[in-house]
A and B are shown apart, each in its own frame.
Chain A
Amino acid sequence: MNVTLKPEDTRPAGEFKQPSPLLAARFDPTGTYAFASAEDNVIHRWTLADGKRVELKGHKSWLRGLAFSAKDKLLLSGDYTGKVFFWPVEGETPTREVQAHDGWVRALAVNGGEAMLASCGNDRLIKLWSLPDGKPVRTLEGHESHVYNVAFHPTQPLLVSADLKGVVKVWQIEKGSVERELDAKLLHKYDTTFGADIGGVRSIAFTSDGKHLACAGITNVTNAFAGVGNPLVVLFDWEAAKVAQLLKPKQAFQGTAWGVVCHPDGHVVAAAGGNGGMLWFWKADKAEDLFAFKVPQNARDLALHPDGKRLAVPCADGVLRVYDATAK
């Protein structure tokens, strides 16, 4: 992919509608389809070319874990009953179902070799599964709170998991041991007034060269139950295992960064929901955004199209909004 973003030229490139508020979205690896999960427990598959929508039914609860195996042409989806479904990307019924976790599956990831699926959940576990057969490979234990996200390093045999309290663990996949930890605790707060934890690493993404890891969420929380806080992306220097930059909106915004992607051209893009919806574009060398783009409704996730040009933003009004962020 040799595409350069031009954030200030960001413009709508498609709206895909259905009635239920959306929760998460991904493009399939061929770039033919956009998938989005909704509050009606359905995964909606849109053909980008013509907008045709197919409903994938089977989950009995909400889901935010979506991942693909290009090699096996599989969509993997993990739900809040702890189940992971295996779907043919172009099919309409699951071919396999795995009871993966006790409680919510929070996220899924497939490794670069596409032979392994990682899942994480509220049981504080990360589980590894072989693909395409869905057999258990290994369970990684060590988090002390709900594990919100998981990602494979693009070039090293390492896996990253991140939890509610902003603890980021780096695992050696073969040994199943923790190699090191990163501190994203800026994305967590225990609100003593309300007596509850707020925040967590709501989205993670590696840069394609594996030199940076982005963790997104909410910080500066002053009222947990009203969601009064600011979006933040904690960008880590992978080799140094240190925070390289705290990426913040230039203009005040109240809400959570629910999705983050790292574009190969060096842009870090995040989508947020709170007092409206927003997209921000950063470069690693500057804390404040280079450009902010208002989304008409609260954003709940963010996906980058394989063409490197388009971004998908699933919104609280049930619309999957696709934007082209390259030069007009």
Chain B
Amino acid sequence: MPRNPACGSTEHVLSRRGFLHGALGVGGAALSFGSLVQPAAATELNKQQKRVLLVWLSGGVSQLETWDPKPGTPTGGPFQAIPTSVPGTHICELLPHTAKILHRLALVRGININENDHGKGAYFMHTGRKQEPAMKYPHLGSVCAKLLTTADNPLPGYIHVTPKGNGGVSKEDAAFLGPRYASLALSDGQAPANITLPDGVSPDAEAQRQELRGLLNDRFASARKTAETEAYTGSYDQASQLMARRHLFDLTREPEKSRERYGNHDFGRHCLTARRLLEGGATFVKVTHTNYDTHHENFDFHIEQLGEFDRPFATLVTDLHDRGLLDSTLVIVMSEFGRTPKINRNLGRDHWGTAWSIAVGGCGIQGGAVVGKTNEQGTAVTDRMVHGGHLFHTYFKALGLNPNKNWYINEQPIPMTDPKAEAIAEILA
């Protein structure tokens, strides 16, 4: 579907450019973080940029083994609840490191998306809309790439750090926003392949090649410009910029102690990569941790998976805070759904979209807040029921975006968020 270039709310872009003009006295279009900007100014600029860290616990993490434990009940399972840095708020004992930083997060304990299908749940949580046959909405990452990423940002707007073997561009994520805002998945957190110059090609020769390519592209686009050609051209530009920024993916540049803090396993390394990307100016970084679809031996698997998740995640949030970036970085930890309170005969928990939890924090979020409640055994929401639509509104508000604006497709307005939902005010700062 051709993209309508008329669409483009750019308040944030103007704001950032305004900052550049005001603080540096130069136009922003040619700047890239850390290259032309003085270090101190780059740091300040980085703090002004709004960004998002989404930690996707693929398969559906159990709310009972994370954010809403019910120990001592028939559905509670074997784990205990532990106190956190927020007086009166307890989470599962499998998250001891996260418990110490819970004052930087808010818990939403009353989610009901009424979906128990992986794909439909993931869609709802990524787009804020129920899946419907006639319309595909863009993922939050693509929305942020569109609304928060400035033209001069050297990094792709939506970066997805995935487990091994899942790299590439996912155009579907961007829906009608166009492929330019699609997610770029980095398999195992590695830089995209082939972003270094081939042997024998000097930087000067490369610059000449790119200049020629640009001229040819411009001539072609003057007659036949589409979202695809734009994305095609953009991908070359982005590749060039990535080549200059490939050090962001090189974890050997991190002190050994830093790497140890994140843990010597894939998810730890992926969280460290996410921190480097966010520090480097990335707008939206999604880190997927797989997998939590524990129909069988739910408890043993949650020991293992959350044992991997807990420390690197808490370290990442702490590092963002210590670097002054947490106030401008919205942090979201979510899945496509939760897991059944009822423990099945194989000691597993099944899909459960009707009463579960997520955690959010950072930019625009009131740390330590808890909203929503489930009943004693966690089988139903008893207070402040919300769904993906409410969460999408909340993300918009937290990021300083207007959730009530429209996209335009062929001049037809499409609400950016579900018009029937609203933000969860109780967790907004």
Enumerate chain A interface residues (CB-CB to B < 8 A).
20-21, 39-41, 60-62, 80-81, 104, 122, 146, 193-198, 224-227, 255, 273-274, 297-298, 316-317
Contacts and interface: CB of A to CB of B under 8 A. Distances in A.
A195 B305 contact: yes
B343 interface: yes
Contact of B79 (A61, A198, A227, A273): A61
27 contacts: A21-B345, A39-B78, A40-B74, A60-B71, A60-B80, A61-B79, A61-B80, A62-B78, A80-B78, A80-B79, A122-B303, A194-B290, A194-B291, A194-B293, A195-B163, A195-B289, A195-B305, A196-B291, A196-B304, A225-B295, A226-B296, A227-B295, A227-B297, A227-B346, A298-B345, A298-B346, A316-B345
Contacts of A225: 59, 291, 293-296, 301, 348
Q: 4 closest A-B pairs (Cβ-Cβ)?
A: A227-B296, A62-B78, A316-B345, A194-B291
A196 B291 CA distance: 8
- Would you call the interface of chain B mostly helix, strand, loop, or mixed? loop
A308 B177 CA distance: 72
Summarize A's interface: helix, strand, loop or mixed: loop
B162 to A, nearest CB: 11
Contacts, number: 70
A85 to B, nearest CB: 16
Interface in B114-169: 163
A198 B80 CA distance: 23
Given A41-B72, A255-B346, A298-B345, 11 more contacts: A39-B77, A60-B71, A60-B80, A80-B78, A104-B78, A122-B303, A194-B293, A195-B289, A195-B290, A224-B301, A298-B346
A195 B78 CA distance: 22
Nearest to A300: B347
Contact of B296 (A61, A146, A224): A224
A177 B71 CA distance: 39
A63 to B, nearest CB: 9
B119 to A, nearest CB: 17
Interface in B367-413: none
Contacts of B293: 194, 225
Contacts of A41: 72
A6 B297 CA distance: 33
A157 to B, nearest CB: 32
Contacts of B77: 39, 62
A263 to B, nearest CB: 27
Interface in B259-301: 266, 289-291, 293-297, 301
Interface string B40-81: 000000000000000000010000000000011010011110
A11 B29 CA distance: 82
A193 B343 contact: no
B310 to A, nearest CB: 14
A47 to B, nearest CB: 26
B329 to A, nearest CB: 26
Interface in B75-104: 77-80
A61 B291 contact: no
A224 B300 CA distance: 11
A266 to B, nearest CB: 31
Contacts of A21: 343, 345
Given A225-B291, A225-B295, A196 B74 contact: no
Q: Which of A21, A81, A196, A224 has the most CB of B within 10 A?
A: A196
Contacts of A196: 291, 301, 304-305
A81 B296 contact: no
A195 B297 contact: no
Contacts of A61: 71, 78-80
Contact of B291 (A193, A227, A255, A316): A193
A125 to B, nearest CB: 16
Contacts of B343: 21, 39
Nearest to A197: B304
Contacts of A81: 80
Contacts of B303: 104, 122, 146
A316 B297 CA distance: 13
A107 to B, nearest CB: 14
A156 B71 CA distance: 42
Nearest to A226: B295
A297 to B, nearest CB: 7
Which of the listed residues A39, A81, A198 has the most CB atoms from chain B within 10 Å of its own CB? A39
Interface string B298-331: 0001011100000000000000000000000000
Contacts of B301: 194, 196, 224-225
A225 B59 CA distance: 10
Contacts of B346: 227, 255, 273-274, 298, 316
A227 B163 CA distance: 22
A225 B349 CA distance: 10
Contacts of B59: 194, 225
A104 B80 CA distance: 11
Contacts of A80: 78-79
Contacts of A197: 304
Nearest to A223: B296
Nearest to B295: A226
A197 B301 CA distance: 8
Nearest to B265: A195
Contacts of A317: 345
A209 to B, nearest CB: 33
A326 to B, nearest CB: 29
Contacts of A227: 295-297, 346, 348
Nearest to B165: A192
Contacts of A297: 345
Contacts of B71: 60-61
Nearest to A40: B74
Nearest to A80: B78
A62 B72 CA distance: 10
Interface in B344-369: 345-346, 348
